[in-house]
Amino acid sequence: MARKPFIAGNWKMNMTAESGKQLIQELKPLVKEAKCDIALCVPAILIPAMVKAAKGSKIKIGAQNVHFAENGAYTGEISATMLKEYGVKYVIIGHSERRQYFGETNETVNRRTLAALKNDLCPIVCIGETLEDRESGETEKVLTRQLEIGLAGVEDIKKLVIAYEPVWAIGTGKTATDEQAQETIKFIRKKLGKMFCVKDANRVRIQYGGSMNAANCKGLMAQPDIDGGLIGGASLKKDFATIVNYNK
Ligand code: 13P
C-alpha cells in the first residue's frame, strides 16, 4: 500500500491567535485540492483557536510536545488527554530544539512517544544528527541510538511518523540535498525494518525537515523514501500551501 504523503508545519514559538487565524483562513482555499495529509503544529496556547479556525478544512492541528504522565505535579506541562480534549491529532516529539535547549533525551522521547500512542495521538518523532556527527561519520550511529531508545516498546510502528531533521539544516537555509536526504531516510527505513519488520517499516511515513521550502520541496518529495516534510519557517506564510501542493 502506498504511503500517503504528509506535510506538517511547525510554527515553533511564533504567531498569535490573530495572525495564526489569518494565515489559516488564507491557506484553507489554497489547500482544498491537496492529496496529502496536512497538519500545523502550533504553540499549545493557540490550539483551541487554531482548531476552530481550521474547522471544515484539510488542515489538522498538532502540538509541539506532550508530557508522559497522565496528570500530576509537573508544572508547565501538558498531557495527552488535555491535547485530545481540544481536537489535537498529531504531536511533535523530540524536536532538536527541545533536545538542545530543554534537556530532552532519547529516554524522555521514548516516554512521551509511548504516552502519545496510548492516548491515540499520532507522534511525529524527530531524529537527526548534528554537523559534528555528520562530519565525523557518526550519522548512522546517532540515528540508530535515537531510534532504538526513542522507539523502544512501541507496538505498532505504523501509528507514528518519523521526521528526519538534520540539525545543521534547521533554520540555516542549508537544506540537505535530495540525495543526502533520500540516502539517510532510506537508512532509517532499513533500520526500522530490522527493529520491527520490513512490511511495517515500508508503511511508516518518514518526513524530511530542515529549510524545506516552496523552491526545494518538489525535488525532495520526488525521492522514493521521503513521504513528506516538517516545515519550520516556510509554514509561517502562504508558501506552506505551495509546499502542500508540491505535486501540482
Ligand atoms: P526550518 O524549516 O525553519 O529549517 O525548520 C525545520 C524544523 O525544525 C521543523 O521542525
Q: Which tens digits make up the pLDDT trace of 27-81?
A: 999 999 999 999 999 999 999 999 999 999 999 999 999 999 999 999 999 999 9
Residue 175 confidence class, pLDDT cut points 50, 70, 90: confident
Residue nearest to atom 2 of ligand 1 (CA): 232
**Residue 1: what pLDDT?**
65
Pocket lining for ligand 1, CB < 6 angstroms: 10, 95, 165, 170-171, 209-212, 230-234
Is 148 one of the catalytic residues?
no
How would you class 18 by CB atoms within 10 Å of its CB: exposed for 0-12, middle for 13-18, buried for 19 or more?
A: exposed
pLDDT for the residue 173: 86
The atom number, within ligand 1, closest to the CA of 92 reads 10
Confidence of residue 11 (pLDDT cuts 50, 70, 90): very high
pLDDT at residue 241 is higher than 90: yes
Distance between CA atoms of residues 224 and 125, nearest Å: 20
Does residue 97 have an active-site annotation? no
Q: What is the mean pLDDT of residues 174-178?
A: 91
Write out pLDDT tens, residues 117-155: 999 999 999 999 999 999 999 999 999 999 999 999 999
184 has pLDDT over 80: yes
Judge contact between 191 and 147, C-beta under 8 A.
yes
Please give the average per-residue pLDDT across 88-103, as a whole number. 98
Residues 6+ apart with CB under 8 A from 75: none
> What pLDDT, on a 0 to 100 scale, did the predictor assign at position 174?
87
- Which residue has 498529531 as its cell numbers? 90
CA distance 34 to 46: 24
